[in-house]
Protein backbone atom coordinates (compact mmCIF):
# COMPACT_ATOMS: atom_id res chain seq x y z
CA UNK A 1 0.00 0.00 0.00
CA UNK A 2 1.15 3.58 -0.68
CA UNK A 3 3.00 5.13 2.27
CA UNK A 4 1.91 8.76 2.74
CA UNK A 5 4.45 11.34 3.90
CA UNK A 6 4.71 14.93 5.05
CA UNK A 7 7.04 16.49 2.51
CA UNK A 8 6.66 20.16 3.43
CA UNK A 9 5.48 22.31 6.29
CA UNK A 10 5.15 26.02 6.99
CA UNK A 11 4.04 28.48 9.65
CA UNK A 12 2.57 31.95 9.17
CA UNK A 13 3.27 34.02 12.30
CA UNK A 14 1.57 37.43 12.61
CA UNK A 15 3.96 40.38 12.97
CA UNK A 16 2.29 41.64 16.17
CA UNK A 17 2.65 40.10 19.61
CA UNK A 18 1.34 40.85 23.10
CA UNK A 19 3.41 40.11 26.21
CA UNK A 20 1.77 39.02 29.46
CA UNK A 21 2.63 42.40 30.99
CA UNK A 22 0.95 44.32 28.16
CA UNK A 23 -2.09 42.05 28.31
CA UNK A 24 -2.48 42.35 32.07
CA UNK A 25 -2.07 46.13 31.99
CA UNK A 26 -4.95 46.40 29.47
CA UNK A 27 -7.13 43.92 31.37
CA UNK A 28 -6.59 45.71 34.68
CA UNK A 29 -7.42 49.09 33.10
CA UNK A 30 -10.62 47.52 31.71
CA UNK A 31 -11.46 46.06 35.15
CA UNK A 32 -10.93 49.44 36.83
CA UNK A 33 -13.24 51.13 34.30
CA UNK A 34 -15.87 48.44 34.76
CA UNK A 35 -15.68 48.70 38.55
CA UNK A 36 -16.03 52.52 38.37
CA UNK A 37 -18.99 52.29 35.96
CA UNK A 38 -20.69 49.71 38.19
CA UNK A 39 -19.72 51.21 41.54
CA UNK A 40 -23.39 51.66 42.53
CA UNK A 41 -24.32 48.04 41.78
CA UNK A 42 -21.18 46.77 43.55
CA UNK A 43 -21.97 48.88 46.64
CA UNK A 44 -25.56 47.55 46.60
CA UNK A 45 -24.28 43.96 46.46
CA UNK A 46 -25.84 43.47 42.99
CA UNK A 47 -22.50 43.02 41.20
CA UNK A 48 -19.08 41.70 42.15
CA UNK A 49 -15.89 43.75 41.90
CA UNK A 50 -13.84 42.67 38.91
CA UNK A 51 -10.48 41.36 40.16
CA UNK A 52 -7.14 42.23 38.54
CA UNK A 53 -5.28 39.69 36.43
CA UNK A 54 -1.62 38.85 37.04
CA UNK A 55 1.29 38.10 34.70
CA UNK A 56 2.86 35.87 37.36
CA UNK A 57 -0.33 33.77 37.57
CA UNK A 58 -0.52 33.44 33.79
CA UNK A 59 3.04 32.18 33.51
CA UNK A 60 2.85 29.80 36.45
CA UNK A 61 -0.60 28.37 35.51
CA UNK A 62 0.10 27.96 31.79
CA UNK A 63 3.75 28.54 30.82
CA UNK A 64 2.61 31.25 28.37
CA UNK A 65 4.77 34.40 28.11
CA UNK A 66 3.45 36.00 24.93
CA UNK A 67 1.02 35.49 22.04
CA UNK A 68 0.87 36.62 18.37
CA UNK A 69 -2.25 38.43 17.14
CA UNK A 70 -3.54 39.82 13.85
CA UNK A 71 -4.61 43.06 15.58
CA UNK A 72 -3.10 44.40 18.77
CA UNK A 73 -4.70 47.82 19.23
CA UNK A 74 -8.27 46.57 19.59
CA UNK A 75 -7.31 43.84 22.06
CA UNK A 76 -5.35 46.23 24.26
CA UNK A 77 -7.88 49.09 24.16
CA UNK A 78 -9.64 48.96 27.58
CA UNK A 79 -12.73 50.50 25.97
CA UNK A 80 -12.89 47.71 23.36
CA UNK A 81 -10.96 44.52 24.32
CA UNK A 82 -11.58 42.91 20.94
CA UNK A 83 -9.51 42.92 17.73
CA UNK A 84 -10.27 45.26 14.81
CA UNK A 85 -10.89 42.59 12.19
CA UNK A 86 -13.59 43.71 9.79
CA UNK A 87 -15.29 41.04 7.69
CA UNK A 88 -13.77 41.18 4.22
CA UNK A 89 -15.95 42.16 1.23
CA UNK A 90 -17.02 39.28 -1.02
CA UNK A 91 -14.58 40.27 -3.77
CA UNK A 92 -11.47 40.27 -1.52
CA UNK A 93 -9.58 37.29 -0.04
CA UNK A 94 -10.66 36.49 3.52
CA UNK A 95 -8.34 36.81 6.52
CA UNK A 96 -8.07 33.04 6.88
CA UNK A 97 -7.33 32.52 3.20
CA UNK A 98 -4.58 35.13 3.30
CA UNK A 99 -2.83 33.51 6.26
CA UNK A 100 -3.30 30.11 4.65
CA UNK A 101 -1.67 31.11 1.36
CA UNK A 102 1.44 32.25 3.26
CA UNK A 103 1.76 28.99 5.26
CA UNK A 104 0.90 26.79 2.24
CA UNK A 105 3.45 28.54 0.03
CA UNK A 106 6.16 27.81 2.61
CA UNK A 107 5.11 24.14 2.74
CA UNK A 108 5.04 23.86 -1.07
CA UNK A 109 8.46 25.53 -1.39
CA UNK A 110 9.98 23.10 1.11
CA UNK A 111 8.58 20.15 -0.86
CA UNK A 112 9.61 21.62 -4.24
CA UNK A 113 6.01 21.62 -5.43
CA UNK A 114 3.73 24.16 -7.12
CA UNK A 115 0.13 24.93 -6.11
CA UNK A 116 -1.08 23.44 -9.40
CA UNK A 117 0.26 20.02 -8.33
CA UNK A 118 -2.07 19.93 -5.32
CA UNK A 119 -5.42 18.16 -5.75
CA UNK A 120 -6.84 18.43 -2.22
CA UNK A 121 -6.97 21.34 0.24
CA UNK A 122 -8.38 20.74 3.71
CA UNK A 123 -8.88 23.90 5.77
CA UNK A 124 -8.97 22.46 9.28
CA UNK A 125 -9.56 24.94 12.10
CA UNK A 126 -11.53 25.53 15.30
CA UNK A 127 -13.63 28.32 13.78
CA UNK A 128 -14.23 29.44 10.22
CA UNK A 129 -14.67 32.97 8.95
CA UNK A 130 -17.94 32.08 7.21
CA UNK A 131 -20.19 29.10 6.65
CA UNK A 132 -19.87 28.87 2.86
CA UNK A 133 -18.38 28.82 0.30
CA UNK A 134 -15.76 26.75 2.13
CA UNK A 135 -12.66 28.74 3.02
CA UNK A 136 -10.66 25.78 1.67
CA UNK A 137 -12.08 26.37 -1.82
CA UNK A 138 -10.96 30.00 -1.71
CA UNK A 139 -7.46 28.82 -0.69
CA UNK A 140 -7.52 26.23 -3.50
CA UNK A 141 -8.28 29.00 -6.00
CA UNK A 142 -5.64 31.41 -4.62
CA UNK A 143 -2.98 28.68 -4.85
CA UNK A 144 -4.03 27.58 -8.34
CA UNK A 145 -4.66 24.06 -6.99
CA UNK A 146 -6.89 21.51 -8.73
CA UNK A 147 -9.07 18.69 -7.45
CA UNK A 148 -11.29 19.60 -4.54
CA UNK A 149 -11.27 21.31 -1.16
CA UNK A 150 -13.32 21.29 2.02
CA UNK A 151 -13.43 22.76 5.52
CA UNK A 152 -13.38 20.70 8.68
CA UNK A 153 -13.57 21.52 12.38
CA UNK A 154 -12.51 19.33 15.26
CA UNK A 155 -11.34 22.30 17.39
CA UNK A 156 -7.79 21.73 18.69
CA UNK A 157 -7.54 18.36 16.95
CA UNK A 158 -8.37 19.70 13.48
CA UNK A 159 -4.80 19.34 12.13
CA UNK A 160 -4.30 15.69 13.09
CA UNK A 161 -7.80 14.72 11.95
CA UNK A 162 -7.08 16.56 8.67
CA UNK A 163 -3.77 14.71 8.27
CA UNK A 164 -5.57 11.39 8.82
CA UNK A 165 -8.15 12.28 6.15
CA UNK A 166 -5.42 13.33 3.68
CA UNK A 167 -3.20 10.32 4.42
CA UNK A 168 -6.13 7.91 3.98
CA UNK A 169 -7.04 9.45 0.60
CA UNK A 170 -3.44 9.19 -0.58
CA UNK A 171 -3.30 5.55 0.52
CA UNK A 172 -6.58 4.90 -1.31
CA UNK A 173 -5.35 6.67 -4.45
CA UNK A 174 -8.21 9.19 -4.59
CA UNK A 175 -5.79 12.14 -4.35
CA UNK A 176 -2.09 12.63 -5.11
CA UNK A 177 -1.11 15.67 -3.06
CA UNK A 178 -2.95 17.33 -0.17
CA UNK A 179 -2.47 20.50 1.83
CA UNK A 180 -3.81 20.45 5.40
CA UNK A 181 -3.91 24.08 6.46
CA UNK A 182 -4.90 25.43 9.88
CA UNK A 183 -5.57 29.18 10.01
CA UNK A 184 -6.47 29.92 13.63
CA UNK A 185 -7.79 33.41 14.45
CA UNK A 186 -8.36 32.62 18.11
CA UNK A 187 -8.28 36.34 19.04
CA UNK A 188 -11.70 36.78 17.42
CA UNK A 189 -13.48 34.10 19.47
CA UNK A 190 -11.71 34.67 22.76
CA UNK A 191 -13.34 36.85 25.44
CA UNK A 192 -10.45 39.18 26.30
CA UNK A 193 -12.57 40.59 29.17
CA UNK A 194 -12.71 37.28 31.04
CA UNK A 195 -9.87 37.03 33.58
CA UNK A 196 -10.04 33.21 33.66
CA UNK A 197 -9.18 32.76 29.99
CA UNK A 198 -8.02 36.10 28.53
CA UNK A 199 -4.40 34.92 28.39
CA UNK A 200 -4.85 31.53 26.75
CA UNK A 201 -4.93 32.03 22.96
CA UNK A 202 -3.08 33.53 20.00
CA UNK A 203 -3.31 33.70 16.18
CA UNK A 204 -1.24 31.72 13.66
CA UNK A 205 -1.55 29.50 10.59
CA UNK A 206 0.22 26.21 9.82
CA UNK A 207 0.26 24.03 6.71
CA UNK A 208 1.57 20.57 5.87
CA UNK A 209 1.83 18.98 2.43
CA UNK A 210 1.00 15.28 2.33
CA UNK A 211 1.89 13.11 -0.68
CA UNK A 212 3.13 9.58 -1.37
CA UNK A 213 6.58 9.01 0.19
CA UNK A 214 7.85 7.69 -3.17
CA UNK A 215 6.99 11.09 -4.73
CA UNK A 216 9.05 13.07 -2.17
CA UNK A 217 11.76 15.22 -3.73
CA UNK A 218 13.82 15.63 -0.57
CA UNK A 219 13.82 14.89 3.15
CA UNK A 220 10.38 13.97 4.38
CA UNK A 221 8.43 12.30 7.19
CA UNK A 222 6.73 8.96 6.51
CA UNK A 223 3.26 8.80 8.05
CA UNK A 224 3.29 5.28 9.50
CA UNK A 225 -0.10 5.50 11.09
CA UNK A 226 -2.78 7.88 12.36
CA UNK A 227 -5.37 7.44 15.09
CA UNK A 228 -8.30 9.71 16.01
CA UNK A 229 -10.79 9.49 18.89
CA UNK A 230 -13.66 11.63 20.24
CA UNK A 231 -15.82 11.62 23.35
CA UNK A 232 -18.56 14.21 23.89
CA UNK A 233 -18.00 16.86 26.57
CA UNK A 234 -19.38 20.34 27.22
CA UNK A 235 -16.28 21.43 29.12
CA UNK A 236 -14.93 23.36 26.14
CA UNK A 237 -17.73 24.95 24.15
CA UNK A 238 -18.63 27.83 21.79
CA UNK A 239 -22.36 28.29 21.02
CA UNK A 240 -21.95 30.73 18.15
CA UNK A 241 -23.96 28.77 15.60
CA UNK A 242 -26.32 30.09 12.96
CA UNK A 243 -29.28 29.94 15.32
CA UNK A 244 -27.70 32.59 17.56
CA UNK A 245 -27.40 36.36 17.13
CA UNK A 246 -24.26 38.23 18.10
CA UNK A 247 -24.77 41.04 20.57
CA UNK A 248 -22.27 43.55 21.83
CA UNK A 249 -23.22 43.18 25.46
CA UNK A 250 -20.92 40.87 27.34
CA UNK A 251 -23.81 39.03 29.02
CA UNK A 252 -25.48 38.21 25.73
CA UNK A 253 -22.47 37.16 23.73
CA UNK A 254 -20.38 35.40 26.36
CA UNK A 255 -21.37 31.85 25.46
CA UNK A 256 -20.79 32.57 21.78
CA UNK A 257 -17.07 32.76 22.43
CA UNK A 258 -14.62 30.29 23.93
CA UNK A 259 -15.91 28.87 27.24
CA UNK A 260 -14.21 26.22 29.29
CA UNK A 261 -14.10 24.51 32.63
CA UNK A 262 -10.29 24.49 32.64
CA UNK A 263 -9.80 22.37 35.75
CA UNK A 264 -12.11 19.61 34.47
CA UNK A 265 -10.47 19.70 31.04
CA UNK A 266 -7.11 19.34 32.70
CA UNK A 267 -8.20 16.32 34.77
CA UNK A 268 -10.24 14.51 32.13
CA UNK A 269 -8.10 15.04 29.04
CA UNK A 270 -4.72 14.10 30.52
CA UNK A 271 -5.46 10.38 31.08
CA UNK A 272 -7.31 10.20 27.76
CA UNK A 273 -4.31 11.53 25.82
CA UNK A 274 -1.56 9.46 27.42
CA UNK A 275 -3.68 6.27 27.07
CA UNK A 276 -4.39 7.21 23.43
CA UNK A 277 -0.72 7.62 22.52
CA UNK A 278 0.35 4.45 24.36
CA UNK A 279 -2.50 2.48 22.72
CA UNK A 280 -1.53 3.78 19.29
CA UNK A 281 2.14 2.84 19.79
CA UNK A 282 1.11 -0.62 20.97
CA UNK A 283 -1.14 -1.19 17.96
CA UNK A 284 1.73 -0.38 15.62
CA UNK A 285 4.30 -2.43 17.56
CA UNK A 286 6.26 0.70 18.51
CA UNK A 287 7.84 1.14 21.95
CA UNK A 288 7.79 4.45 23.84
CA UNK A 289 11.62 4.31 23.66
CA UNK A 290 11.36 4.46 19.87
CA UNK A 291 10.04 8.02 20.11
CA UNK A 292 12.76 10.59 19.77
CA UNK A 293 10.29 13.46 19.90
CA UNK A 294 6.76 14.29 21.05
CA UNK A 295 5.13 17.24 19.31
CA UNK A 296 2.16 17.80 21.58
CA UNK A 297 -0.81 20.15 21.48
CA UNK A 298 0.24 23.43 23.04
CA UNK A 299 -2.32 24.38 25.68
CA UNK A 300 -0.51 24.22 28.98
CA UNK A 301 3.08 23.41 29.97
CA UNK A 302 2.15 21.38 33.04
CA UNK A 303 -0.21 19.29 30.92
CA UNK A 304 2.52 18.55 28.37
CA UNK A 305 5.07 17.73 31.09
CA UNK A 306 2.58 15.22 32.53
CA UNK A 307 1.79 13.59 29.17
CA UNK A 308 5.48 13.37 28.20
CA UNK A 309 6.35 11.69 31.49
CA UNK A 310 3.44 9.27 31.28
CA UNK A 311 4.21 8.22 27.69
CA UNK A 312 7.99 7.92 28.05
CA UNK A 313 7.87 6.51 31.58
CA UNK A 314 10.39 9.13 32.71
CA UNK A 315 10.89 12.89 32.69
CA UNK A 316 11.49 13.90 29.04
CA UNK A 317 15.01 15.14 28.36
CA UNK A 318 15.63 18.63 26.99
CA UNK A 319 14.35 18.88 23.46
CA UNK A 320 12.45 15.58 23.46
CA UNK A 321 9.11 17.31 23.97
CA UNK A 322 9.48 20.85 22.63
CA UNK A 323 7.06 23.56 23.71
CA UNK A 324 6.27 26.65 21.71
CA UNK A 325 3.40 27.90 23.87
CA UNK A 326 5.65 30.30 25.76
CA UNK A 327 5.86 32.39 22.54
CA UNK A 328 2.59 31.52 20.74
CA UNK A 329 0.18 30.65 23.61
CA UNK A 330 -2.52 28.11 22.71
CA UNK A 331 -3.17 28.32 18.96
CA UNK A 332 -5.72 25.52 18.93
CA UNK A 333 -5.14 23.05 16.05
CA UNK A 334 -1.94 24.76 14.94
CA UNK A 335 0.05 24.24 18.16
CA UNK A 336 1.40 20.71 17.65
CA UNK A 337 2.23 21.52 14.01
CA UNK A 338 4.19 24.65 15.00
CA UNK A 339 6.16 22.49 17.47
CA UNK A 340 6.77 19.92 14.70
CA UNK A 341 7.68 22.55 12.12
CA UNK A 342 10.16 24.37 14.36
CA UNK A 343 11.66 21.33 16.10
CA UNK A 344 12.10 18.52 13.58
CA UNK A 345 14.74 19.52 11.02
CA UNK A 346 17.62 18.44 13.27
CA UNK A 347 16.43 14.83 13.47
CA UNK A 348 18.37 12.11 11.58
CA UNK A 349 16.91 9.69 9.06
CA UNK A 350 15.14 6.82 10.79
CA UNK A 351 14.24 8.93 13.85
CA UNK A 352 10.65 8.49 15.00
CA UNK A 353 8.21 10.86 16.66
CA UNK A 354 4.54 11.50 17.34
CA UNK A 355 2.37 14.54 16.68
CA UNK A 356 -0.54 14.57 19.13
CA UNK A 357 -3.34 17.10 19.43
CA UNK A 358 -6.21 17.17 21.92
CA UNK A 359 -8.97 19.49 22.98
CA UNK A 360 -12.63 20.36 22.56
CA UNK A 361 -15.00 17.53 21.68
CA UNK A 362 -13.21 15.99 23.54
CA UNK A 363 -10.97 14.98 20.68
CA UNK A 364 -7.51 13.47 20.39
CA UNK A 365 -5.49 12.65 17.29
CA UNK A 366 -2.03 11.13 16.90
CA UNK A 367 0.26 10.78 13.88
CA UNK A 368 3.28 8.41 14.00
CA UNK A 369 6.13 9.73 11.89
CA UNK A 370 9.56 8.52 10.73
CA UNK A 371 12.19 10.75 9.18
CA UNK A 372 13.25 9.63 5.68
Residue positions annotated with a catalytic role? 156
Count of Cβ atoms closer than 10 Å to residue 230 Cβ = 14
Among 148, 266, 286, 306, binds ligand CO8 (CB under 6 A): 266
- Measuring CA to CA, which residue among 316, 240, 248 is closest to residue 277? 316
272 Cα distance to chain centroid: 19
Q: Indicate the angle between helix axes 20-37 and 55-62, nearest 10 degrees.
A: 120
Q: How far is the CB of 346 from ligand CO8 (least distance, A)?
A: 28
Does 156 engage in binding with ligand CO8 (CB under 6 A)? yes
Residues 12-51 that bind ligand CO8 (CB under 6 A): none
Among 258, 295, 328, 340, binds ligand CO8 (CB under 6 A): 258
Cβ proximity to ligand CO8, 53 vs 344, nearer residue: 53
| Residue 257 near residue 241, CB atoms below 8 Å | no
Q: Helix, strand, coil: what percent of the chain each, to 5? A: 40, 25, 35
150 Cα distance to chain centroid: 18
Residue 304 CA to residue 321 CA, distance in Å, equals: 8
Among 107, 121, 210, 265, binds ligand CO8 (CB under 6 A): 265
Cβ proximity to ligand CO8, 53 vs 164, nearer residue: 53
Residues 285-344 that bind ligand CO8 (CB under 6 A): 299-300, 303, 330, 332
Count Cβ atoms within 10 A of the Cβ of residue 80 and give its class: 0-12 exposed, 13-18 middle, 19 or more buried: middle
- For residues 222 to 241, the per-residue mask of contacts with ligand CO8, x marking binding by CB under 6 A and - elsewhere, is --------------x-----
Residue 172 CA to residue 30 CA, distance in Å, equals: 54
With residue 333 as reference, give the H or E element that holds it: none
Q: How far is the CB of 266 from ligand CO8 (least distance, A)?
A: 4
Task: Identify the three-state secondary structure at position 365.
Answer: strand
Cβ proximity to ligand CO8, 30 vs 221, nearer residue: 30
| Residue 206 near residue 182, CB atoms below 8 Å | yes
Cβ proximity to ligand CO8, 50 vs 236, nearer residue: 236
Q: How far is the CB of 140 from ligand CO8 (least distance, A)?
A: 24
Does 69 engage in binding with ligand CO8 (CB under 6 A)? no
Count Cβ atoms within 10 A of the Cβ of residue 3 and give its class: 0-12 exposed, 13-18 middle, 19 or more buried: middle
Does 260 engage in binding with ligand CO8 (CB under 6 A)? yes
Cβ proximity to ligand CO8, 54 vs 230, nearer residue: 54
Among 12, 68, 161, 201, binds ligand CO8 (CB under 6 A): 201
| Residue 202 near residue 258, CB atoms below 8 Å | no
Give the total of residues touching ligand CO8 (CB under 6 A): 30
Q: How far is the CB of 220 from ligand CO8 (least distance, A)?
A: 29
Residues lying near ligand CO8 in the complex (CB under 6 A) are found at 53-54, 57-58, 61-62, 126, 155-156, 186, 189-190, 195-196, 199, 201, 236, 258, 260, 262-263, 265-266, 299-300, 303, 330, 332, 359-360
Amino acid sequence: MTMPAITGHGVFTPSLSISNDELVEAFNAYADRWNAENAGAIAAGEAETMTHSSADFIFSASGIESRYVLDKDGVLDPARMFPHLAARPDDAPGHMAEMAVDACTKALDMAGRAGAEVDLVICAASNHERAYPAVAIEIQQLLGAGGFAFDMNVACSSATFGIQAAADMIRAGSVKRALVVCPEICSAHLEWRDRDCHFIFGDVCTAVLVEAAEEAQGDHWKIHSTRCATQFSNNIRNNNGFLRRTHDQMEDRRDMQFMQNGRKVFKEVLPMVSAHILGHLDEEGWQADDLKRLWLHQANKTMNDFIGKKVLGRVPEDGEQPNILQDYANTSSAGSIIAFSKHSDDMPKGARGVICSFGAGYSVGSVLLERA
